[in-house]
Amino acid sequence: MVGPRPEHGPVQTSSGDEGLIEWLQARAGLSAEQIAQLRGQCAQTGLPLREQALGLGLIDSATLAWLERLPAGWSGAVPPPALGRYLLERELGRGGMGVVYQAFDPQLGRRVAIKQLLPRDEGPVAARARERFAREARACATLSHRNLVPVYEVGELGGEPFLVMELVAGETLEQALARDPSIRQVVSWVQQVAEAVGVAHAAGIVHRDLKPGNVLIEREGGAARLTDFGLARDLSLDVQLTHAEALVGTPAFMSPEQAAREQATPASDVFSLGAVLYHALSGRLPFGGNEEGLAEVLVAIASLEPPPLRQVAARVPVDLQTVVQRCLEKEPA
C-alpha cells in the first residue's frame, strides 16, 4: 500500500496521466511523495498508472472512465457537480424555466443530455409544471423512431424533475438554415420531422412547440432529430406568462388555437410544421415575430394569411407552396 501522507508538493506528470494524478491528489489525498511511490510500483510491476491505482483501490472504474473522457479545460482536481449519478460537464442551454446540460453517465460510460426544471416558487402553478413535466416525459420515454431523440430516464432530485436523453452531436435546424441549404435538403429534413411527429400523434402526444430550435441535425449523416417533447408544455415558452391559462409554445410558430389559449390538437402541430417549412424555405416568419409585438403576432396567426410563399421565395416550386398553404389553413378540412 501507499505509505503515510506527508505534505503535498508538485508532481512531475507525463501526458495522459495528468487528470488521474490531479484526482489522486485532490480527491484521494495522495501527496507528491506518495504519487512518486506509486510510479515506482508501476515501474516494478510494469502496470500503467491507471491499473496500479485501480488495483490498490485508490479509484473505481467508473470514476476512471469519467476522467478519461474529461473535456478540454476540465481538471480532475475539481470534479463537476452531479445530478444523481450523472456528472455534469457543461451547460448547453438555458431558458426562463429550464436548463440543459451535457453530462457523463459513469455507470454506462456514455455522455447524455439532461434537461432539468428550474426551481420555482411553491404553489399550484409550480405543482402543475412538475406534474406535467413528469407525465409528458414518461410518455415520451415510450416513443421510438429514428428521427426522435430517445429518453433514457426520468428522475427527480431535490423535488425538481429532470430528463435524461441521448446527446446528439450536431446543430439545430436554425443554425443549419444559416448556410442556405438546398430546397431538396430542407424538404428532406422537414419530412423526417413530420414522420417523427406522426409517431408521437399515433401515441396520443402533441408536441406543441415545433420550431427550428427544437430540431437537431446530426453532424454525422445529417439526419433530423426532433426533441423537447418532455419540456414542451411548460419549459419551451419563449413568452413567460403567470396566469393558469398560459400561452404554450413559441409565438412565431404556434397555431391559431394555441394563440387563443385553447387546447392543442395534432392539427396544431401540422400548422406549426407548415410555419417551420415556410421559414426554412423563405428565411421569413409567416406571421412575423422578430420586430412585431406579441399581440400583433397572435392577431396575425388568428386572422391573417401569410404572403404566398413564392412571393417571398420565387425559387420554391408551386406544389411545395401548395403543401405549405394547406398546413397553414386556419380551419383544416
* Residues known to be catalytic: 209
Q: Which of 219, 15, 33, 307 has its CA nearest to residue 24?
A: 33
With 0-12 CB in 10 A as exposed, 13-18 as middle and 19+ as buried, what is 250? buried
How far apart are alpha carbons 21 and 132 in whole angstroms? Answer: 45
Amino acid at 324: V
Amino acid at 299: V
Q: Which helix (H) or strand (E) holds 50?
A: helix 49-55
**Distance from the Cα of residue 195 to its chain's centroid:** 20
**Positive or negative, the Cα torsion across 174, 180, 182, 183?**
positive
DSSP 188: H
What distances in angstroms separate CA 269 from CA 174, 200, 211, 254, 277, one per listed residue?
Answer: 18, 10, 10, 8, 12
The DSSP string of 210-235 is --GGGEEEETTT--EEE--TTTTTTT
How far apart are alpha carbons 78 and 75 in whole angstroms? Answer: 6
Q: Which of 54, 73, 77, 67 has its CA nearest to residue 8?
A: 77
Question: Cell digits for 77?
Answer: 482536481
Q: Find where cell 432539468 sits.
A: 116
